[in-house]
Amino acid sequence: MQKQKKQPQHQKPPQAPKQEQKRTPKMRLPQGRSFWFNIGIAILVFFIISSIYTAISETQSDDKVIPISDVAREVISGSVTAIIAEGDVLTVTLKDGPEKESHKEAGVGVPELLTSYGVTPEQLAVVRLEVKGESGFLFWFFNIMPILLPLLLIGLFIWFLTRQVKGAGMQALSFGQSRARFFDPKDKQRVTFKDVAGVKEAKEELLEIVDFLKNPKKFLDIGAQIPKGVLLMGSPGTGKTLLARAVAGEAGVPFFSISGSEFVEMFVGVGASRVRDLFQTVKQAAPAIIFIDEIDAVGRTRGVGLGGGNDEREQTLNQILVEMDGFEPTEKVIVMAATNRPDVLDQALLRPGRFDRRVRLDLPDRKDREEILSVHARSKPLTEDVALKLIAERTPGFSGADLQSLMNEAAILAARENRQKVSQFDLIRSIEKVLLGPERKSHILSDREKKITAYHEAGHALVASVLPNADPVHKVSIIARGHAGGYTLSLPLEENRLLSRAAFIDRLAMTLGGYAAEMLIFKDVTTGPSHDLETATALARDMVMRYGMSEKIGPLALASDDPRSGMKGFEEREYSEKIAAIVDEEVNMLMTNARTTAERVLKEHDKALEAIVAHLLDKETIEQPEFESILRSHGIKVKKEETVIA
């Protein structure tokens, strides 16, 4: 139920660039379904042709067709006036009836045929005989089609198979081609340093890269060599990718972007082939920038993978190292990479001559946050009451990506309520949504649960307000958000990079304030403080094992992140069972003292606790002015900021 901080995300540019173009289009593997679909089309075509052939044939096989013997009898009786022979078809014209059709054997003349049936030459002389050549269409259709149709179907089948094999071959050949995305330097919407707020030191560091790409002769004439690789390090969402694109935008050079995971495939050697293809392509476009995002996907320390030295990821890393070594001093290609885990990277990547320039991007301070908010507010209409400075003060620990999400959520709230501008209230509500999640309006608490939650949050808020080293409270609420049934928003008076042992001890007491209030009032505890207990225990253990803040343990670091596993808590224990027992005792002592401190504060200011609870049960939310008014009315000094960072 205590304030939760969300992990920062990647900062995104304020304006979306044009659609990215890929130098090599991705090809999809042929699937069995498409092959059988083509076979089905071939069969369908066969049936259509057969149906047409049958239909034409049947049109000539009706009740008008008579045998040749009947034709002979009609000639003998004198009823026939004319016989027209067209191929093997005989059209017989009668004196008093319709025309009839008959068929004769191929190669046999009409007179010879009728004579064989008893027709005399005198009877045949009165009949007009006419022989016509068979039409081209019918001749070809009826004589050639029976032979051509099977050949046509076989050829069609072979063509389909050939196309499938060709597609598979092209796909196989394209595996080794780079999947890098290309950004045109002539794009009018390209990102520049104007679109990147904060990170002043990082931008100053990268101005040398921009200057080299614009005026390389100035550096080469004096014998200077620009760094071949620049590694951007920082938490997720601090703007590493955005800053790399801004360097390319400022220099006006081509920008090739690819993720580290895009090098690796299931086939051995594909990653190394893609690296070679990428560097070859970029050299042809020099001066240019290669940007490898999340390079730790392929750049982790070698020798610890499941595949040993033959691991595909390690082969890809080896090829990257070789390509970076192959750069000539005069080549105008800069390799930039980004990672939030520089501790797991192979040392060969970090040596001079490769990624020898390292730029760290920290979370923005208050002034930087205000600038970032201003950048993201360019395309959003704001009301006159919007004070971005106040929003920046309320968002310590927010990354650039969090601030972009905050502005976007505020715009969504305004649009949902059919308003044309974003107000200050929208921005304040968006802070809580980004931190804790949306309100759970359907989560209705019973009267008892509501009362327990009110005491819990009041305990947090009161302990934080009384203890001198705890952060002041800005808001208290018992409205459920995300996984929390309620929350207390406490923010520091100023940006603190270093925290003292006294600050940690007061933070422990504040974290256990909700637990202490439940035990003090209800003589029982619910599952509500579960997250508080996890947070407090982890903080107490870090104080003992990482920060040297235990008198018994002393200045020893007993815990560290294992760079090989990349996961906290999986390192091997390098201390004895006796030391482990002392660690447990020290952690238990810190937790017990924090609970005792919280209970003492709540007992001393029980009337203020009841006043806060009554206000929460009535209005469900207490903002900072109302909360400070309650504190003053009960003789509690309000924490005020002495200096304001401009």
Catalytic residues: 457
Question: What are the tokens at 574?
Answer: 């390098």
CA-to-CA separations, 152 to 48, 143, 554, in angstroms, rounded? 13, 15, 89
**Range list of β-strands (E), 226-300:** 229-234, 255-259, 288-293
DSSP, collapsed to helix, strand or coil, labels residue 65 as strand
Whole-number Å distance between alpha carbons of 503 and 146? 95
DSSP, collapsed to helix, strand or coil, labels residue 193 as helix
**Range list of β-strands (E), 137-221:** 181-183
- Non-local CB neighbours of 431 within 8 Å, separated by 6+ positions: 391, 394, 395, 406
Which DSSP string do the residues of 307-327 spell out, in sequence order?
TGGG-HHHHHHHHHHHHHHT-
Task: Tell me the pairing of strands 21-22 and 181-183.
Answer: antiparallel
Integer-rounded Cα Rg, in Å, for the chain is 42
Of 208, 581, 237, 536, give the one whose Cα is nearest residue 403.
237
Asked if 208 and 318 touch (Cβ cutoff 8 Å), the reply is: no
How many of the other CB atoms lie within 10 Å of CB of 412? 14
Asked if 168 and 29 touch (Cβ cutoff 8 Å), the reply is: yes
Asked if 586 and 547 touch (Cβ cutoff 8 Å), the reply is: no
CA-to-CA separations, 494 to 150, 367, 462, in angstroms, rounded? 86, 11, 20
Whole-number Å distance between alpha carbons of 272 and 479? 54
CA-to-CA separations, 325 to 113, 194, 227, 230, 503, in angstroms, rounded? 95, 33, 12, 14, 48
CA-to-CA separations, 629 to 79, 473, 626, 636, in angstroms, rounded? 126, 12, 5, 10
Angle at the Cα of 552 (from 547 to 557), degrees rounded to 5? 30
Length of the chain: 646
- The secondary structure of residue 527, as a DSSP letter, is S
Whole-number Å distance between alpha carbons of 483 and 495? 28
**Range list of β-strands (E), 169-294:** 181-183, 229-234, 255-259, 288-293
Q: Kindly report whether the peptide bond that precedes residue 287 is cis, defined as omega within 30 degrees of 0.
A: yes
Which DSSP string do the residues of 230-289 spell out, in sequence order?
EEEEESTTSSHHHHHHHHHHHHT--EEEEEGGGG--SSTTHHHHHHHHHHHHHHHT-SEE
Within 60-119, residue ranges assigned H as helices are: 68-76, 110-115
Paired strand residues for 462: none
